[in-house]
Amino acid sequence: MRNIKVTIEYDGTNYHGWQIQPNVKTIQATLQNALTKIIKAEMQIIGAGRTDTGVHAAGQVANFHTRSQMPPLAFQKALNATLPRDIVIINVEEVSPDFHARFSAVSRTYRYTILNRAYPSALLRNNTYFFPEPIDVQGANTACQSLVGVRDFSSFQRSGSGRINPICDLCNCRCWREGDLVYFEIEADAFLRGMVRAIVGTVLKLHDKHDGVDQLNEILDARERSTAGTSVPPHGLSLLRVKY
C-alpha cells in the first residue's frame, strides 16, 4: 500500500466543514467521492484539521492509502479535473507508511481576516469579517502576544471539542494591519473546537482597554467559556498551513 499526502486549498462557503456528516456536503466526503471515481475503489482520506462550517483552507493536508500505481502528478491532475472549482489540490507526494496527516503534525496555523473600514465589500464578503469599528492593532497584538505559551484554553473552547486535554502550546499569536485588512495569525500544537474564533472575538472586545491583557489573563484563569467574548463568524477563518 502506498501512502499519498495531498495539500488542499478550498473555499468552505458551501460546505458543512471538513468532516463527513450524514445528509450534508463536506470537504472530506467530496474528496473521497472524487478519489473513488478515479481509483475505482472505496477510499478513506484523513485530514490534518477538522475545519468547521464555512471555514476555508489555504494549506489543509490529508493522506490516503492506495494500491494504485498512479504517479503523484497524475493524482493531482485527475483530482483537480474531478473536484468542484472551490476545492483545489495544490500538491501531491508519496510519503512514508507511518505518516498520518493529523497525528504526525507538529503545529497548525490559522489566519483570521477582518475587513476594517466604514463599508463592506462585495468581493471579499465570503472570506473576511466586516468590522467597521476602528481596531487598535497595537493593543490587539499586545493581547495576542500575552497568550503565547503553554496554557489551559478552556475559556475559549466550544462545547463538543474533540480534545479532552484543554492544554495547548501557542507558539505564535499576532495581529497586524495591511491597508483595510487586519489579520490575526495563531499557531499552536493543537486547537480546541472554536478556539481561534473565540480568541479573536475576545481580543476585539478588549483591544482598546488599558487593562486588556489583565482581563485576558483573568478569562484564561476562569476556565469558563462564558467569561470570554463572542466568537467571530467562521467565514473569516482559514487553515493556513500544517507543519510536520
Catalytic residues: 52
Amino acid at 26: T
Cα atoms in the 13 Å half-sphere on the side-chain side of 181 = 13
- List CB contacts of 112: < 8 A, sequence separation 6 or more: 129, 183, 184, 185, 186, 196, 197, 200, 232, 236, 237, 238
Q: Are 138 and 212 in contact (CB under 8 A)?
A: no
Q: b/e per residue, 147-160, with b = 16+ CB within 10 A?
A: bbeebebbbbbeee
Q: Are 110 and 238 in contact (CB under 8 A)?
A: yes
Contact 234, 197 (CB under 8 A): yes
